[in-house]
A and B are shown apart, each in its own frame.
Chain A
Amino acid sequence: MRDDDGTAEMFGGFWLLIRKFLMLFFPFWVFLILYSANVHMVISAIVAGFSTSLVVIFEKLKIKQANDMANKPQ
């Protein structure tokens, strides 16, 4: 059984794909930014790893926003 938490409807159904893309390339992008800014490689890697959580946080915020809008009294 799949939980329907509303993620499938985000961004016109395009979010599922965007999330996969972001999960893969966002940390890579953050790492490259820090690396090119001459930050130590280990620190760059740690920050890049943490940046993945930003995608999840963004997703949760969007779901909360959508739920609040849906439950708003008329």
Chain B
Amino acid sequence: MTRRAPGEHPAPFRIVGRPLPRFDVADKVQGTTLYAADWRLPGMLAGRILRAVYPSARIRRISVEKARALPGVAAVLTADDVPQNALHEDPTGLGLSSFATPVLAADRVRYQGEPLALVAAESEVLAQAALEAIEVEYEPLPGVFDAGAALAPDGPRVHPDRENLLIHWKLRQGDVEGAFRRAAAIVERTYRTQRVDHAALEPEAAVAWVDGDGVVTIRAATQVIEHFREIAEILRLPHNKVRVQAPFLGGGFGGKEDMTVEPYAALLAWKTRRPVRMVWTRQESLLARPKRHPFTMSYKTGATEDGRLVAQEISLLADAGPYPLLSPRVVFAALVVGCGPYRVPNVKIDARAVFTNNVPTSAMRGFGAMQVTFAYESQMDLLADQLGISALEIRSRNFLRKGDRLPTGEALETQAALPHITARAVEALGERSRPSAPSGRVGRGIACNMQPYGRTVWFRDRAQAWIGFEADGALVIRAGVTDLGGGQAASLAQLAAEVLGVSPDRIAVHIGDSALTPLAGGTFATRQLYMSGNAVVKAAGELRAMMIPVAASLLEAAEPDVQFADNHAGVIGAPKRTIALARVVKECGRRGIPTALLSGFQGEHAAPIDLETGQGRTFPDYTFGCHAVEVEVDAETGAVRVLKLAACHDVGRAINPQSVEGQIQGGAVMGAGQALMEEVALEAGINLTTLFAGYLIPTAMDVPDVRPLVVESGEGKGPFSARGIGEPPTGPPPAAVAAAIQDAVGVRLTDLPMTPERVFDAVRARPARPEHEARGKV
């Protein structure tokens, strides 16, 4: 499954690169893993949120007396009960603006489902009764429900003190006007992507309590334990009096990156001085938990006669809901990779996010870079059509190479093995399938993408890790990472095992506790392997450097000849000369040499980009990929079935190939779902998709076997030259499927999801032509 790119060196690793079973999977198959909602404490109350019914309204009156008087109700809180009812944000991270988001809405509601009040009661049933006993008098107000309309200067404002434009990022390079005048082919289209829900199988959940030292502790399904600071601010407590623990998550995908239940559970626990469990219902989660941004993307792309890109003029518009959350950063990522993995000398991009009264939008796997993939890859195919060259050919002529300048002016510092990646994906499709019915049409398509990994370099990203030996030679790692299911914890053990020679089954990993594990930054932005992986390798390396001389002295060997492997220190080339690592540990103790240490990895840092031109350093690096897809379209109904999906990514080095392949498979299926069936539909701010039965994510019958193809170019900025893989696989499927549909029935869809009805309508609208034959472009 894993083959090397030309020029790669084989890796001389013992542990890294092996498909080791993950320690957490053994617990998960036995059902012993305790997720956030599984934690039980004596006297635990049930916490619930009262949510706004209207998307835009004034709250005239909110009355909680009746609710408070119900038996078994321990607390009912409104905005007045929140010590600091504001989350202060710097939405861009550049200090350009500040924003205060209410924790509980006080006099104004800005989206359907906005939290208004909290209850804690002895049981879920009693909590529900208390919610129903709270009286709210609303005065519905006009709202802003269309991102385009939000930009109109005289329309309603979501916030009284500011305009609806949240952010406008700009990128300017070269001269697009001149370039278009000289272009041989120009394609202009507008693409739309939809609101998507993360739909992790685990709903948002936390148990909060005040411990014996008065520390408000929240054990939450969260991707970011660092939120303890925000919770402390809300409660007006010192930061060291709030503690966030993150158990293994039942999926995150960015939906648990912002705070969800944490501040509410904390407030109730702090107020009642009793443990409080808050688990959102699935329907509540679908209603109100922030979604992936819907994007409207207008692209004008110009190329020479032989298909070389000369200019991209792009306008991106994202619906940010009423509060900033991570919207500016999502749109920034879209800006940076808006042209895709191609050389383009002249670029003009305007990327905007606007406030509306629709459901909030924030981080989701792919983070802006996912949406633009649909646009830039579709443009490549349309240009190829116009110029009469193949989809493969036009891409080959424009693929970025190491050293090329990106539209932001920075040079690409690592290899972009795109020709190899693309060839692997295409080859994996094999023979073209035959249609399964007379109305079936088979088509194929490809799409390439680039996804940043690591946070924007202005953020001074940092991750710490503590590593130490026990007296018996076992190893302990403490790192504040959170494990979403992608093997974040297990990968740290695999890395430490490689460096220190402790077998993985003798390594204990403690993660996700803001009081006890050194902070590592959250699990998002495909940063965890890059940041914490490097931190662990660094710490392990520093520890090893201290212990090698001691081992050498015990073994009576020269330091360069000493190796740590299989829980022993040994002499290279002399298999009989070994001693247990435990002995080395003991000797270190005797000599006063530490066998544990804390270290940290500092991510790359650079000054922020120029705000007018978008020029400057942005992300540390990128992961490149290509997916090849074969579909069968039922020409009579428009239904699309994915027959084959091959997904290839260059991960630099696969620390655990099995986990890497699993991420690729899962991400590709998530992308396929967004291509064909997922949508959170809103109408005038009212969410129509609040049943899980109505939010369609792929089942096992909706996708074929996904062939994950791993390329290891040996160049990446993560540990042992690895690159991140969490987000990249979600990007290509929509564009690849759109290309395959065009190959099958001759229509190019520009709106996601590509439902049967949309395909059907497009086919009906297609100008009459002879029976369409697959053009065999792939």
- Bound pair: A and B? no
Q: Which residues of A contact B (CB under 8 A)?
A: none
Q: Which residues of B contact A (CB under 8 A)?
A: none
